Chains A and B, each alone.
Chain A
């Protein structure tokens, strides 16, 4: 057995196979100071962090301010991302609407109220102009102005109702109408169950349906969209949007249910937009594309109202959980 003794006669006993502290340089000498300081710093940091939770009163003050300022055209969004449920809880679904939360993108909003904590900001607003900032305790409300907001003329997602939309299934020369049902059983489930489908929807023979839903993109952000799963093979889902106000562009996004196979071998979905039998534009979607935008020039149709026929088909012979949104601007 060996024993290590210090000058101050404090003993630490080690057994035969044991090692006294190696004399590996002066770094050890600092250790007596570094260790307790580091330990206490960590303790202090823990106390600060656990005591710095944003109080409810700050959220509510921010909500009252935003409620007084925001118009229906404005975006209200929360940062950091993990605080979004808190924002929805405190602001309620009247302010934190599904339309705002599950927006296709930010381009249509002329102004945004960014409600943030912990110094976070939304990357999507990075190019916008900051108009104002108000602090409510730990909550910061920043008003951003969109330098080039798009004026949306008609939003296809808002047109999923029997007054503005007709749906049918096309198989060869045969076209079968899909009836609108105002109170069908909602379809939803847990993880992997597919996109939820609301009670108001078009139901097609053979199990097809068209309805507004919410799709998660590859980063799990929500987007409102028209769930229009093509049945596969030669079958097409045909949607006829009635009296659409046309502008200079038809812009949209397309995606699919997040749990769908995203391998390159996955099926291709083709969406075609027609007006008066002529093709306005066509976009192809692969599962790996995620929530992908498309845009077609409609200048020749600008200023008039038109029925737009949208056809969705898939390259493989099985129903594909496809969703898209589109608007004219």
Chain B
């Protein structure tokens, strides 16, 4: 292999030996293969790759959507989404009538503790893809579809981010490892806000990053718009300024200092855009705020600043109120993110830390011989902030446990990007270790390396479905290991569907009454409408009213199990839904 042939500036693929593609014996279609070659510059073809990754993810989510029952929160959002869509329908049909406060409040008061964007998307998807065009047979899939698409978009953006920041292999591995985090995969199915928030977070960080790189009004406006969409997605968006403001100020520090010396404050355009356009988008897309605006915004902010806490098992103890145990976040990350992803992340992070340390040292020593800084957009700093900021609140004294890992999922794209960087280092080390390999052997070796890092996450993620909240990674012993450690088994009562599939549907007497425990009546009813649960079964709210009682295992739910013992006069379940032998739902029968 001649070096000269590799120096073609316009040809490169992720780790592929491009000259080999020119050999006619490869496939005999040199002209077609050349069309597949990727130019060195990251561009629309990479967006094609990112879109393909995202689409594949959405397909995987759709393929597994029916295996996951409905969570408590989804049942509320289904209802709110339908209500919001109804308002839009009224707006198109009856114009200004829909703008009366009574009409707005009637439709938008439902679930007004969360912004409207994502639920509006759920509603439009339901209205068009289920009700009108029958694209989806299940209403629930149509509600869930926008969140799945946003998950796919997060994969897409992560790929592009990694490809632009480092190289295509980093982008590819980052995107795949993000997709193959079991908890991310689970939450990506749901008509909830957590994965959409993760998606809009990385979109916002990416657009902000591009705005720093490219400058210009277009990217700045885009940053403001995306930030507004983030604000309209979930309140986690309040933390985005803590990422982008210090980053932008650092990027533009020299200009800022120069401006201050000249007696003027020159703020980065993107920040101004975020400050101006962001709130406008937030306000414009949430009709509930169009009346009594200040009072309602204040209520919304107060609701989340004084949010109640949820009970969750951690290391065998039930914890709830603030402060959350300091070990909660690190332990849960290690227990739920595949170890290979963490390892690659550590490598990437160490690599970037060395680099940063060297630059700081050089700056302190004012070394003139140090090469000029290439990355003027300070990517490492941005990603470090994007990783750290979503996690910091969980170490504060006032922060309770709101739930599981989903509340810091916004950090995971950055974690995956550092992991992608770690893979690039491994790839580089492989090349140094095996300098004589070329052609197909080299390609095979690199493919094997890629396979070795994605196989375990793929297997673990696939196996975790549909018990995504119960499953833990092999580092802690899998699902049983998580149970040994006393980690939370589940929440939201969504595993009733599994109990139905394994026990209720085949074995319950006709018309039996079922105590549905943590499942909401809305979720139960929707599962019956979609033939997930037999329609003749009757949901009841108390064990003593039931012939069959379900108990979704969570530590603090034990009191409900004891109530079942008293009501049924027996402590022996008739059946247990298990994952890897660990009880998920106990089914009691009179």
Closest to A259 in B: B559
**Docked CA distance A36–B429 (Å):** 12
Measured as residues with beta carbon below 8 angstroms from the partner, the interface class of chain A is 35 or more
Name the segment of B406-414, B477-485, B523-531 touching the other chain: B477-485
**Docked CA distance A10–B477 (Å):** 38
B362-381: CB near A (< 8 Å → 1, else 0) gives 00000000000011110110
Overall SS of chain B's interface: helix
**Docked CA distance A61–B7 (Å):** 70
Contacting pair A2 B456 (CB below 8 A): no
Instruction: Return 30 A-B CB contacts under 8 Å, by A number.
Output: A6-B432, A9-B1, A9-B438, A10-B6, A12-B12, A18-B375, A22-B354, A27-B350, A28-B429, A29-B433, A31-B429, A34-B343, A36-B452, A46-B463, A47-B459, A49-B479, A50-B478, A53-B580, A80-B484, A81-B486, A89-B576, A188-B543, A189-B541, A189-B542, A190-B563, A214-B562, A214-B565, A215-B562, A219-B317, A258-B559
Contacting pair B17 A10 (CB below 8 A): yes
Contacting pair A8 B438 (CB below 8 A): yes
B340 is contacted by which of A32, A35, A80 (Cβ under 8 Å)? Answer: A35
Which residues 534-590 in B have Cβ within 8 Å of A in the complex?
A: 541-544, 553, 555-560, 562-567, 569-576, 578, 580-583, 586
Which residues 1-43 in A have Cβ within 8 Å of B in the complex?
A: 1-19, 21-22, 24-25, 27-36, 38-40, 42-43
**Docked CA distance A39–B341 (Å):** 9
B480 is contacted by which of A7, A16, A118 (Cβ under 8 Å)? Answer: A118
Contacts A102-B565, A214-B562 given: A39-B456 contact, CB under 8 Å?
A: yes
Name the segment of A107-115, A164-172, A191-199, A232-240 touching the other chain: A191-199
Question: Does A216 touch B at the CB level, under 8 Å?
Answer: yes
Question: Does B427 touch A at the CB level, under 8 Å?
Answer: yes
Contacts A3-B7, A17-B374, A46-B463 given: A28-B41 contact, CB under 8 Å?
A: no
**Docked CA distance A318–B355 (Å):** 66
Contacts A42-B340, A196-B543 given: A21-B428 contact, CB under 8 Å?
A: yes
Contacting pair B424 A21 (CB below 8 A): yes
Closest to B38 in A: A13
Name the segment of B92-100, B162-170, B295-303, B494-502 touching the other chain: B162-170
Q: Point out the residues of chain B lying under 8 angstroms from A118, CB to CB.
A: 480, 484
Which residues 301-328 in A have Cβ within 8 Å of B in the complex?
A: none
Contacting pair A8 B566 (CB below 8 A): no
B479-519: CB near A (< 8 Å → 1, else 0) gives 11101101001000000000000000000000000010110
Name the segment of A66-74, A93-101, A174-182, A267-275 touching the other chain: A93-101
Contacting pair A17 B453 (CB below 8 A): no
Closest to A195 in B: B563
Contacts A18-B165, A19-B166, A31-B426 given: A24-B563 contact, CB under 8 Å?
A: no
Closest to A10 in B: B431
Question: Does B351 touch A at the CB level, under 8 Å?
Answer: yes
Contacting pair A82 B432 (CB below 8 A): no
B544 is contacted by which of A35, A185, A195 (Cβ under 8 Å)? Answer: A185
Q: Point out the residues of chain A lying under 8 angstroms from B430, CB to CB.
A: 32
CB distance from A299 to the nearest CB of B (A): 35
A97 is contacted by which of B12, B429, B571 (Cβ under 8 Å)? Answer: B571
Q: Point out the residues of chain B lying under 8 angstroms from A195, CB to CB.
A: 559, 562-563, 566
Q: Point out the residues of chain A lying under 8 angstroms from B18, CB to CB.
A: 11
Question: Does A279 touch B at the CB level, under 8 Å?
Answer: no
A19 is contacted by which of B374, B437, B517, B544 (Cβ under 8 Å)? Answer: B374
CB distance from B142 to the nearest CB of A (A): 30
B581 is contacted by which of A33, A43, A53, A258 (Cβ under 8 Å)? Answer: A53
Closest to B455 in A: A43
CB distance from A46 to the nearest CB of B (A): 5
Contacting pair B435 A2 (CB below 8 A): no
Contacting pair B164 A15 (CB below 8 A): yes
Overall SS of chain A's interface: mixed
Question: Does A213 touch B at the CB level, under 8 Å?
Answer: yes
Contacting pair A31 B542 (CB below 8 A): no
Contacting pair B166 A191 (CB below 8 A): no
**Docked CA distance A8–B456 (Å):** 29
Question: Does A187 touch B at the CB level, under 8 Å?
Answer: yes
Q: Which 8 pairs between the two chains have the least Cβ-Cβ distance?
A: A24-B354, A186-B544, A53-B581, A36-B452, A49-B478, A196-B566, A45-B474, A196-B563
CB distance from B46 to the nearest CB of A (A): 11
Q: Point out the residues of chain A lying under 8 angstroms from B456, CB to CB.
A: 39-40, 42-43, 46
Contacting pair A18 B374 (CB below 8 A): yes
Contacting pair A21 B544 (CB below 8 A): no
Q: Point out the residues of chain B lying under 8 angstroms from A17, CB to CB.
A: 164-165, 213, 374-377, 379
Contacts A28-B429, A118-B484 given: A11-B566 contact, CB under 8 Å?
A: no
Contacting pair B562 A10 (CB below 8 A): no
Closest to B581 in A: A53
Q: Point out the residues of chain B lying under 8 angstroms from A16, CB to CB.
A: 374
Q: Point out the residues of chain A lying under 8 angstroms from B425, CB to CB.
A: 21, 28, 31
Which residues 112-158 in A have Cβ within 8 Å of B in the complex?
A: 118, 120
Contacting pair A86 B576 (CB below 8 A): yes
Contacting pair A8 B571 (CB below 8 A): no
Closest to B8 in A: A11
Contacting pair A12 B427 (CB below 8 A): yes
Contacting pair B478 A32 (CB below 8 A): no
Contacting pair B340 A39 (CB below 8 A): yes
Q: Point out the residues of chain A lying under 8 angstroms from B478, CB to CB.
A: 45-46, 49-50
Q: Point out the residues of chain A lying under 8 angstroms from B358, CB to CB.
A: 22
Q: Point out the residues of chain A lying under 8 angstroms from B544, CB to CB.
A: 185-188, 196
Contacting pair A32 B426 (CB below 8 A): yes
B429 is contacted by which of A5, A18, A29, A93 (Cβ under 8 Å)? Answer: A29
CB distance from B590 to the nearest CB of A (A): 11
Contacting pair B9 A1 (CB below 8 A): yes
CB distance from A136 to the nearest CB of B (A): 15
**Docked CA distance A29–B432 (Å):** 8
Which residues 324-360 in B have Cβ within 8 Å of A in the complex?
A: 338-340, 343-344, 347, 350-352, 354-355, 358
Contacts A28-B429, A219-B317 given: A1-B583 contact, CB under 8 Å?
A: no
Q: Point out the residues of chain B lying under 8 angstroms from A97, CB to CB.
A: 571
CB distance from A209 to the nearest CB of B (A): 13
Question: Does A266 touch B at the CB level, under 8 Å?
Answer: no
B355 is contacted by which of A4, A19, A32 (Cβ under 8 Å)? Answer: A19
Q: Point out the residues of chain B lying under 8 angstroms from A38, CB to CB.
A: 339-340, 343
**Docked CA distance A49–B475 (Å):** 10
Contacts A6-B432, A17-B377, A88-B571 given: A12-B542 contact, CB under 8 Å?
A: no
**Docked CA distance A10–B334 (Å):** 34
B562 is contacted by which of A47, A49, A93, A196 (Cβ under 8 Å)? Answer: A196
Contacting pair A220 B556 (CB below 8 A): yes
Question: Does B15 touch A at the CB level, under 8 Å?
Answer: yes
Question: Does A54 touch B at the CB level, under 8 Å?
Answer: yes
**Docked CA distance A213–B567 (Å):** 10
Question: Does A92 touch B at the CB level, under 8 Å?
Answer: yes
**Docked CA distance A308–B394 (Å):** 53
Question: Does A243 touch B at the CB level, under 8 Å?
Answer: no
A285-306: CB near B (< 8 Å → 1, else 0) gives 0000000000000000000000
**Docked CA distance A196–B515 (Å):** 14
Q: Point out the residues of chain A lying under 8 angstroms from B452, CB to CB.
A: 35-36, 39-40
Contacting pair B565 A220 (CB below 8 A): no
Contacting pair A85 B576 (CB below 8 A): yes
Q: Point out the residues of chain B lying under 8 angstroms from A21, CB to CB.
A: 351, 424-425, 428
Contacting pair B563 A49 (CB below 8 A): no
Contacting pair A191 B556 (CB below 8 A): yes
CB distance from B472 to the nearest CB of A (A): 9
Contacting pair A186 B567 (CB below 8 A): yes
Q: Point out the residues of chain B lying under 8 angstroms from A186, CB to CB.
A: 543-544, 566-567
Contacting pair A96 B474 (CB below 8 A): no
Q: Point out the residues of chain B lying under 8 angstroms from A80, CB to CB.
A: 483-484
B435-466: CB near A (< 8 Å → 1, else 0) gives 11110001000001100111110011001000
